[in-house]
Amino acid sequence: MALISLKSVSYTYLKDTPLEKEALLNVSLNVEHGERIGILGKTGSGKSTLIQLIGGLIYPTSGEVYVKDKEIRKWNSKELCKIVGVVFQYPEYQFFAETVFEEVAFGPKNVGISEEKIEDCVKSALISVGLSYEEIKDRSPFHLSGGEKRRLAIASILAMDPEVLILDEPTANLDPRGKLQIMNYIDRWVDKKQKTLIIVSHDLDEVMRLVRRVIVLKAGEIIFDGPSERLFMSYDKLEEAELDLPEIVRLVKILQEKGYPIEGAFTVQEIV
């Protein structure tokens, strides 16, 4: 049983209006337990639409999405939140609570986790992102630094202990230090708890470090789905995906350092 399965999924915004926009076209894929998947593609390629469909926030215009073999419309939203946790772009813009504790506790309370377990959930989620519970729990979420805010927003999803963690551009607009911290905390949490990770990013560095399988979208269609090193060894696919070349050069270097056999495909010099 695949954890998540998309069968010929299409999604059209504003269907039957003059502004109709086909955002995803006939997308099929399976996500197995424990996989780490990166979704790549330039702006407008359908990445956010895809994760909203997986998170049950929107339903396909045609085709089906299954979570644990049950069609997504049949899931109760609270039960689905315990399986699929989605951290959207710039999640800190959605803070609403007066204290960090309340911000993180909202999700677990909402999905029915018992009152006596809430404190442990909040504590462990904050620790997972490197925030000290005692120091931070009574502070206002709005007064934290940029990196702390992002980590808090991620913690509020981790507190529900979802089986699949989906992150949309988790390190966007952070400085290199903040970015590295977040990547490390995500990596450790997923590893320690044996979770499934889906990460949307245009930061290829982040994708290479965190995932093993990449799915590349172009104009709503999957143009590549396979091991990340295979994508980075295929110049044709990279060109087709219209991904950022300087980023790719850096990645090829990382792959070479890790000892991947790049020589059969292309070298850094060839693509600079």
Q: Give the tokens for residue 32.
A: 């197995």
Q: Which amino acid is at 198?
A: I
Judged by beta carbon, residue 12 or residue 128, the one nearer ligand ADP is 12
Rounded to the nearest 5 percent, the helix, strand and coil shares of the chain are 45, 20, 30
Q: 231 Cβ partners below 8 Å, 6+ apart?
A: 214, 216, 224, 237, 238
Q: Give the bridge partners for 11, in sequence order.
A: 24
Q: Give the tokens for residue 252.
A: 């090829």
Q: What are phi and psi of 213, to 5 degrees?
A: -115, 140
Q: Minimal distance in Å, beta carbon 3 to ligand ADP?
A: 22
In the stretch 14-33, what mask flags binding to ligand ADP with x, by CB under 6 A? x------x-x----------
In the stretch 224-263, what mask flags binding to ligand ADP with x, by CB under 6 A? ----------------------------------------
Size of the site for ligand ADP (CB under 6 A): 12
Does 201 participate in binding ligand ADP (rule CB under 6 A)?
no
Between CA 221 and CA 27 the distance in angstroms is 6
Out of 10, 13, 61, 64, the residue judged to bind ligand ADP by CB under 6 A: 13
Q: Looking at 46-54, 69-77, 94-102, 250-258, which segment touches ligand ADP (CB under 6 A)?
A: 46-54
Q: How far is CA 213 from CA 11, 38, 43, in A?
A: 23, 6, 20
Q: Looking at 43-51, 53-61, 110-118, 205-213, which segment touches ligand ADP (CB under 6 A)?
A: 43-51
Q: What are phi and psi of 93, to 5 degrees?
A: -70, -15
Does 128 participate in binding ligand ADP (rule CB under 6 A)?
no
Does 1 participate in binding ligand ADP (rule CB under 6 A)?
no
In the stretch 49-88, what mask flags binding to ligand ADP with x, by CB under 6 A? x---------------------------------------
Between CA 222 and CA 93 the distance in angstroms is 30
- List contacts with ligand ADP (CB under 6 A): 13-14, 21, 23, 41, 43-49
